[in-house]
Amino acid sequence: HAKGAGRNAFRFYTEQMNVDAVAHQHIRVGLRRALEHGELALHYQPQISLSSGAVIGAEALIRWNHPELGLLLPATFLPTAEESGLIVPMGDWVLQEACRQAVEWLEAGLPEFVMAVNISAMQFTRGDLEQSVLRALADSGLPPALLELELTESILIQDTEKVLETVQRLKSHGLMLSIDDFGTGYSSLSYLKRFNVDKLKIDRSFICDMINNPNDATIVRAIIQMARNLNLKTIAEGVEDEHLLSFLRLQYCDEGQGYYFSRPLPADEFARYVANNTQQLKLIP
């Protein structure tokens, strides 16, 4: 009996794997088409100064307008994009489009803010990130100081000569660098100074539970303190309500991003949000 069950379990397992492989293949083929046929889009989420309430940044977040499935979030296709290497040309497209959009907004007279773009580890190892970035800046005319690259700890702890060199070269062009999902990776903080980053993005997992969980509150306080001592800015991800906002302001966290301010928005809605921001946001001092 046990043997039979084992065999069934095995058969189920392999069939499941085949299904996954087919789905994976399906997404991969679709993604290539999406890239070529303009089905990818960027949504933008405002980043807010916690002292003034002004929009000081926008994070570009990729979306896939799938012809049959509708709007897909990155969790459904980024893993496949990474595995297949498509993340490299896709990342190039994101850089181009985010910079182009930023300049369009500047020219339309929106107040100046920094455009933040997520960078995947593979763009460091497989692509020529410096060249992609410089091309996106040159093609759009965006001033380098208005482009921020969001790197993850997993990129920086690789600490190979190539990563260090690439980061230093990017920095030498005057870009902003931040560390995304800060606190979720590795506790070795030695890379912070070596890599000369500008900002830490405190991961949402610490922020969302901060009010109920004293440990999370302590971690957030410690990160903000350390960042201040190192002259780094801090931004809190996942600011969902006023309580979180006032806690963060009490701790002198510099910036916030989250549903309390706005969800990620299509470009036209984002522009309206920025234009109306003075009415929408009244931060009590």
Nearer to ligand C2E, 159 or 240 (CB): 240
Q: Considering the complex, what minimum distance in angstroms separates the CB of residue 62 from ligand C2E? A: 4
Q: How far apart are CA 262 and CA 163, in angstroms?
A: 34
Whole-angstrom Cα Rg for the chain: 21
Alpha-carbon torsion (45, 50, 55, 60), positive or negative: negative
Stretch that binds ligand C2E, among 25-33, 105-113, 137-145, 237-245 (CB under 6 A): 237-245
Q: State the CB neighbour count (10 A cutoff) for residue 25.
A: 12
H runs (alpha helix) in the chain: 2-37, 74-84, 87-107, 121-125, 129-140, 153-156, 161-172, 191-194, 204-208, 214-229, 242-250, 267-280
Q: Which region, left, alpha or beta, applies to residue 53 given φ > 0 means left and ψ of -120 to 50 means alpha?
A: left
Nearer to ligand C2E, 76 or 218 (CB): 76
Nearer to ligand C2E, 92 or 232 (CB): 92
Q: Considering the complex, what minimum distance in angstroms separates the CB of residue 237 from ligand C2E? A: 6
Q: Is 45 in the site for Mg ion (CB under 5 A)?
A: no
For residue 271, what are the contacts with CB-CB under 8 A and spacing of at least 6? Answer: 105, 108, 110
User: Distance from first CA to last CA of the chain, Å, rounded?
Assistant: 71
Which of 13, 259, 276, 278 is close enough to bind ligand C2E by CB under 6 A?
259
Stretch that binds ligand C2E, among 7-15, 125-133, 224-232, 236-244 (CB under 6 A): 236-244
For residue 71, what are the contacts with CB-CB under 8 A and spacing of at least 6? Answer: 63, 64, 65
With residue 112 as reference, give the H or E element that holds it: none
Q: Is 97 in the site for ligand C2E (CB under 6 A)?
A: no
Which of 180, 199, 200, 245 is close enough to bind ligand C2E by CB under 6 A?
180
Q: Is 150 in the site for Mg ion (CB under 5 A)?
A: yes
Chosen from ligand C2E, Mg ion, none, partner binding at 259 (C-beta under 5 to 8 Å by type): ligand C2E
Tokens of 23: 């789905």
Nearer to ligand C2E, 19 or 73 (CB): 73
Which of 264, 265, 270, 273 is close enough to bind ligand C2E by CB under 6 A?
264
Nearer to ligand C2E, 146 or 181 (CB): 181
Nearer to Mg ion, 153 or 180 (CB): 180
SS3 155: helix
Which of 73, 145, 189, 230 is close enough to bind ligand C2E by CB under 6 A?
73
Q: How far is CA 241 from CA 200, 219, 274, in A?
A: 21, 19, 20
Q: Is 148 in the site for ligand C2E (CB under 6 A)?
A: no
- Residues lying near Mg ion in the complex (CB under 5 A): 118, 150, 180-181, 237
- Residues lying near ligand C2E in the complex (CB under 6 A): 45, 61-62, 73-75, 78, 91, 94, 118, 120, 150, 180-181, 204, 237-240, 257-259, 264
